[in-house]
Structure 1
Amino acid sequence: MTGQRFRNNSLLGDLFRQEYPKMTAVLCRRFGLEHIEIAEDIISDAFLKASEYWAVHGVPENPAAWLYTVAKNKAKDHLKRISLFETRIAGHIKPDEEEAESDFGFGSGYIGDSQLAMIFAVCDPGNSAQSQICLALQILCGFSVEEIANAFLTNLETIKKRLYRAKTQLRDSRFQIRTLSAASIQSRLDTVLKTLYLLFNEGYFSKTNDQLIRNELCAEAMKLALMLTDNPLTDNAQTKALLALMCYQGSRLEARAADTGEMVLFEEQDQSLWNQELIEKGNYYLVNACQGNEVSKYHLEAAIAYWHAHPASPDRWRHILQLYNQLILIEYSPIAALNRAFALARVYGHGKAILETEKLGLTGNDQYHKLLGYLYEVTDVGKAIDHYRLALQLTRASPAKQVLERKIEALNK
């Protein structure tokens, strides 16, 4: 019984990550964003009921559909139980929407459209860009506060305050999802792209989850980005460049983790596992993204990913270093600076890279200590071990910890 309960809980955890944001999008489309807490409560109740019911009666044949049905019924009960429908919503719903059962459905097409529409909706200029992204990541992408904090490289309290202010603003303005003008879509697109970028990054390298790679998040981000390229209003150079980046990075997902779940470093990856079809799609979208004169961070990161996907070139690290030099000028970030230092080591040697890295002073960043550990391996094993130990203290994800433990053990021998 204990084993069965563990499997049920594991399944519910997977379903929560995959379906919670989609269910939220559909319910918020029905209620309006000002009632977002109601939608979240209804969905949470559906998952709670699943944990209790499945433990006794077993998992249904289609668990996701079961959750959607329960959430839909709870929403209808809520509308009947209190006068919310008559007093706040009825006037905003067309007569055919009140009668049509399918309008409150959870079909896959409706979910996809609702989710993308909701991301644009919560990226409301009434909130700061960072607050918009935080709200989108929590409500529609299912991120925890800790995951959002890691994405922004900031602390939990800052993120909690941003989320509170963003939700309050939307609630007080009685915000409704409505068709956006072309100008509104264009003004919100940069924030939407940033949201999808962070969604993919959490899937590609999770710092808080026991799974190093969360394929469902990468797939979701790629699906939504592809939808943007299919719409003339959002199909621009940045969108194509972002999708190219996702294709290149996504091509190596299968090779990045061993069967045991441990991370496989780039140099040790089995290139036969790389998805060549995705690499070709990355080439296609990157070429099309470069038709004009625009150069965004997504262009530069996609170009860097291109060279990683084509490792046979003898000059690739010089190209990568030049691209990181440009990227830091366009949009500086600690991660970009650390990645540049790694490329510097491959071009000019570890000694110069150590000097550049230590100037950054990112002592509270696990990636900083991982890089210094790697750079000191060839000159000072003791310092390398010290930095790997500091990185281990700052790392939360189990797969990443296992890699560091192996490094320390090997160096000690």
Structure 2
Amino acid sequence: MEEEANSLQELLPHLFRQEYAKMTAVLCRHFGLKHIEIAEDIASETFLKASENWAINGIPKKPAAWLYTVARNKTKDYFKHLSIFESQIKNELSTGKIQEEQQFEFDNQHIADSQLAMIFAVCNPANSAEAQICLALQILCGFSVEEIANAFLAKPETIKKRLLRARTNLRNDSFQLNSLTETDIKSRVETVLKTLYLLFNEGYFSKTNNQLIRKELCSEAVRLTLMLIENPLTNTPKSNALLALMCFQSSRLDARINNKGEAIVYEQQDKKLWDKSLMERGNYYLVNAFDGNEISKYHLEAGIAYWHTTPDDESKWQHILQLYDQLMLMESSPVIALNRIFAFAKVYGNEKAISEAEKLNPNESNYYHQLLGYLYADQDIEKAISHYGQAIKLTKSKTEKQTLTKEIERLYNKKTSH
């Protein structure tokens, strides 16, 4: 029984992350964005019923299919109850704002179509670009307020207010999922790409849940971006560049952590664990990304990720540094600046890189202190330990703290052995 309970505790959050957003998207296609809370309530009640039922009767053979059956039945029940509501609700039903339940299905194609429509519907100009992305991350990706705050480097209270305003604007707007025009799609695709980029980043280098890597988020980001590629209206050079970036980064996921969940630095990664098929897919989408004259941040980051998957040669890090220099001109950020310093160290050495890093001086960044700890490790062990200690104080991640503590222990042992 205890094993069954543990299995249920692991399975439900996983299914919630994978299926809740899909379920909500299909339901919203029927209820309309004005009634998004109804869709979310039905999806939430479905998972609540699963937690209660499975704890007593055990996990069904096909858990996802069970969930969709319950959601379908709950939706049919809603439509039945709707028929006895006051005339105002009946009138709304007859206007087509809520589709009839006879058309209601959860097949794979319907889910994919609904999610694609939902992404663009949520990225609604009625809200600011940042609010659109916040809402999409919450509704479509199942992000918590804390995860969204981490993605935006903002306070949770700020994100809560932003989400509340965005949902109100969405409710007041009569936009329907089925009325997407070519103009709607083209005007919103930039925000959609940014949302998927942030979704992948949270999976690739997670700041929450004490996990360094969350593969399910990376997989979901790849799946949704692939949907854009498969649609002629959204199969753009930028979309291809973003998918290439995701493929290159995903190819190294298994090599980035050990069996204890601790980070493995790039130089120590086992290249035999790199996924060659994903690298080849990355190459394919990167070639497609240059079908035109546009060069975006996704092109540059995909180029950097490509060079990270290639064998070491004399020019590799020079290419990476040049791409970071271009990226800094296009979109400067503390994270990009620190990543550039790492490449700079590979080309010009740690001593010069330390001087470059100290010019940035973002003292409240744990990544800044991690980088300086790494750069000082072979030159001044005391300073390296001090910076790693500061990084431990600044990070909230339990996994990151463990990895950094282990590195400090290694440096202490190195120091005492001399």
Higher alpha-carbon deviation: 285-294 or 10-19:
285-294
Instruction: Output the amino acid matched with 1:346.
Output: K
Quote the Cα distance in structure 2 between the aligned partners of 1:27 and 1:131. 22
Match of 2:139 in 1: 139
Distance 1:104 1:355, change over 3 A: same
Quote the Cα distance in structure 2 between the aligned partners of 1:50 and 1:99. 22
Match of 2:26 in 1: 26
Tell whether 2:234 aligns with 1:234: yes
Which runs of structure 2 are paired with 1:257-268 in the superposition (5 Å)?
257-268=257-268
Distance 1:202 1:99, change over 3 A: closer
TM-score of the aligned structures, taking structure 2 as reference length: 0.93
**C-alpha deviations, 1:220-274, integer Å up to 9, x for none?**
2112212212222111111111111111111112222222322222211111111
**C-alpha deviations, 1:162-219, integer Å up to 9, x for none?**
1111101011224322332212211111111111111111111211023322222212
Tell whether 2:78 aligns with 1:92: no
Tell whether 2:84 aligns with 1:117: no
Quote the Cα distance in structure 2 between the aligned partners of 1:112 and 1:280. 25
Higher alpha-carbon deviation: 156-165 or 284-293:
284-293
Quote the Cα distance in structure 2 between the aligned partners of 1:93 and 1:33. 9
* Cα shift at 1:340: 0.6
Match of 2:385 in 1: 385
Quote the Cα distance in structure 2 between the aligned partners of 1:21 and 1:311. 39
Query: Secondary structure of 1:178's match?
Result: helix
Distance 1:393 1:69, change over 3 A: farther
Distance 1:262 1:87, change over 3 A: farther
- Give aligned-pair identity as a percent: 61
Instruction: Output the amino acid matched with 2:106.
Output: F
TM-score of the aligned structures, taking structure 1 as reference length: 0.94
Match of 1:42 in 2: 42
* Cα shift at 1:325: 0.7
Query: Secondary structure of 1:314's match?
Result: coil
Instruction: Output the amino acid matched with 2:198.
Output: L
Which runs of structure 2 are paired with 1:128-167 in the superposition (5 Å)?
128-167=128-167
Aligned residues: 409
Match of 1:302 in 2: 302
Quote the Cα distance in structure 2 between the aligned partners of 1:219 and 1:145. 21
* Cα shift at 1:390: 2.0
Tell whether 2:347 aligns with 1:337: no
* Cα shift at 1:335: 0.8
* Cα shift at 1:93: 5.9
Match of 2:253 in 1: 253
Which residues of structure 2 form unaligned runs of 5+? 414-418
Match of 1:208 in 2: 208
* Cα shift at 1:6: 2.3
Distance 1:381 1:20, change over 3 A: same
Does the Cα contact within 8 Å between 2:242 and 2:298 map onto a contact in 1?
yes
Match of 1:359 in 2: 359
Does the Cα contact within 8 Å between 2:31 and 2:97 map onto a contact in 1?
no
Match of 1:80 in 2: 80
Does the Cα contact within 8 Å between 2:207 and 2:397 map onto a contact in 1?
yes
Match of 2:11 in 1: 11
Match of 2:416 in 1: none
Does the Cα contact within 8 Å between 1:31 and 1:89 map onto a contact in 2?
no
Does the Cα contact within 8 Å between 1:210 and 1:399 map onto a contact in 2?
yes
Distance 1:361 1:154, change over 3 A: farther
Which residues of structure 1 form unaligned runs of 5+? none
Does the Cα contact within 8 Å between 2:76 and 2:101 map onto a contact in 1?
no
Does the Cα contact within 8 Å between 2:117 and 2:178 map onto a contact in 1?
no
Does the Cα contact within 8 Å between 2:20 and 2:43 map onto a contact in 1?
yes
Quote the Cα distance in structure 1 between the aligned partners of 2:91 and 2:64. 32
* Cα shift at 1:85: 5.8
Match of 1:396 in 2: 396
Which runs of structure 2 are paired with 1:183-202 in the superposition (5 Å)?
183-202=183-202
> After TM superposition, where is structure 1 displaced by more than 6 Å over at least 4 residues in a row?
none
Higher alpha-carbon deviation: 286-295 or 365-374:
286-295
Quote the Cα distance in structure 1 between the aligned partners of 2:270 and 2:300. 26
Query: Secondary structure of 2:125's match?
Result: coil
Instruction: Output the amino acid matched with 2:90.
Output: E
Does the Cα contact within 8 Å between 2:30 and 2:100 map onto a contact in 1?
no
